[in-house]
Amino acid sequence: MSKLFSTSSPVSRRQFLAGVAALTAGAATAGIPRAQSQSLGKGYWVAQADTPETTSAKLGFIALTDAAPLIIAKEKGFFDKYGMKDVEVVKQASWGTTRDNLVLGSAAGGIDGAHILTPMPYLITTGKVTDGKPVPMYILARLNLDGQGISISNQYRDLQIGLDSSPLKAKFAEVRAAGGDPKCAMTFPGGTHDLWMRYWLAAGGIDPTSDVSIIVVPPPQMVANMKSRTMEAFCVGEPWNAQLVNQKEGYSALTTGELWNGHPEKAFALRADWVDAHPKATLALLKAVLEAQIWCDQMENKEEMCRIIGDRRWLGVPVPDILGRSRGTFDYGTGKVVENSPHLMKFWQNYASYPFKSHDLWFLTENIRWGYLPADTDTKALVERVNREELWREAAKAIGQQAAIPPSTSRGVETFFDGVKFDPENPAAYLEKLAIKKLA
């Protein structure tokens, strides 16, 4: 195996972190007296054995609804509760900015961790998006399932595009024949939105490497770019699909849960060196994020959540653009309105927070499919290096959520809207049967 996929003393480090987490879990049930605890203000007490090595961390987020767990952990005091009273949650302009600031790290003016597209920690760890300079990252939790969308320009309203993208093939050919360049936008090469867009196009017989140009647009700029007809379609997270519909500048072809029901989406990830240097602080952050996810997933909290994250300091978006789809009401902008959709964004239910290794394996397989990673990448070794699901388990136990721990690191065989199945035990077979691909 190449040095790219090696790691120093993984067993000893993980044993140490597991031991720290065990102390955390024990302290949670031991009734520790105040004389043995540290006061954190606001009525919170943390056992001395669990006191984080630092009270600060700098975490990035993009203006998307699925950043809510980090925002809520800050605003509702969950970080404070676990001793991380100086955490900063800092808005990033784009996923490229997030990457650049993770490479810097907070010591150099960047960030320590982030709300991030699940494939990005892998692309950063391998150096594929950092000029060949690997920056090891760890995925600590999944932040959400579902809640993204593919939206279409009004110039294609007559086609009423839905799950079937194939009617766009002829239209794109017409644009090219007239000297134009049809474009579909996503948010970062190899990221989730890129992969959803490519999968959807390819399932309809459209080759995203030759039939259309795939361009990068930061999430908050999607609606403005659609207004100026920069692109034919885009894939992005909420609330930008809902905002497009509310402003009558386009319509929704699908919400991504229709493409893959219960699909994984964003991750909570940190620089590996920060985690290794701050094992107690890492678990404190993780416990806070998990509790925030539980809070965000409760329907009675949705309106307050949307009011908080909609503030100018965070998303800077009107609450109506966020609230409807957060509650499961999807107005597609075509006259189609779905109430109580099973595809609403999930932060905790259905093991939403747990970072299944099988899901990371799919993301890596799709990155191989489109040439972002070499075909001979040892994907399973890479997942073992980056995915720290054992820390998630320890944090879940520490906050009394043993029942939320899944029985396996794999969710098993996944089925997509077009009937294609992904078996994490045989990703090569999945890749082989895909007709449209571009291997490196």
Q: What pTM does this model have?
A: 0.89
Q: What mean pLDDT comes out for the span 5-15?
A: 35
Greatest alpha-carbon span in the chain:
78
pLDDT at 25 over 80: no
Partners of 113 in the β-ladder: 59, 270
Write the burial class of residue 2 (CB in 10 Å: 0-12 exposed, 13-18 middle, 19+ buried).
Answer: exposed
Q: From CA 203, how far away is CA 223, in angstroms rounded? A: 25
Nearest Cα residue to 416 out of 163, 190, 147: 163
Joined tokens for residue 95:
């996923």
What whole-number percentage of the chain has pLDDT above 70?
89
What whole-number percentage of the chain has pLDDT above 90?
88
Joined tokens for residue 145:
């399932």
Residues 6+ apart with CB under 8 A from 249: 154, 223, 226, 227
- pLDDT category, 50, cuts 50, 70, 90? confident
* Count of beta carbons in the 10 Å neighbourhood of residue 70: 30
Q: From CA 304, how far away is CA 307, in angstroms rounded? A: 5
Nearest Cα residue to 345 out of 150, 145, 149: 145
Lowest mean pLDDT among 7-21, 126-140, 422-436: 7-21
Q: Could you tell me the residue ranges of all domains in the chain? A: 3-145+264-315+347-359+373-410, 148-261
Q: From CA 414, how far away is CA 14, in angstroms rounded? A: 29
- Out of 3.40.190.10, 1.10.3720.10, 3.30.70.100, 3.30.420.10, the CATH code matching 3-145+264-315+347-359+373-410 is 3.40.190.10
pLDDT at 12 over 70: no
pLDDT at 426 over 60: yes
Are 426 and 212 in contact by the 8 Å Cβ rule? The answer is no
Are 146 and 183 in contact by the 8 Å Cβ rule? The answer is no
**Is it true that 3-145+264-315+347-359+373-410 and 148-261 share their CATH fold?**
yes
- pLDDT category, 175, cuts 50, 70, 90? very high
Joined tokens for residue 370:
């489109």
Q: Which pLDDT tens digit goes with each residue over 374-414?
A: 999 999 999 999 999 999 999 999 999 999 999 999 999 99
Q: What mean pLDDT comes out for the span 180-191?
A: 98
Kindly tell me the sign of the dihedral angle through the C-alpha atoms of 291, 293, 296, 299.
Answer: negative
Query: How is domain 148-261 classified at the CATH fold level?
Result: D-Maltodextrin-Binding Protein; domain 2 (3.40.190)
Q: Which pLDDT tens digit goes with each residue over 303-323?
A: 999 999 999 999 999 999 999
How far, in Å, are 305, 328, 355, 361 from residue 262 at the CA level?
21, 14, 13, 16
Q: Helices 68-75 & 279-297, crossing angle to 10 degrees?
A: 100
Residues 6+ apart with CB under 8 A from 395: 21, 283, 286, 287, 290
- pLDDT category, 11, cuts 50, 70, 90? very low
Helical (H) or strand (E) element with 363:
helix 357-369
Are 213 and 181 in contact by the 8 Å Cβ rule? The answer is yes
Joined tokens for residue 16:
């140490």
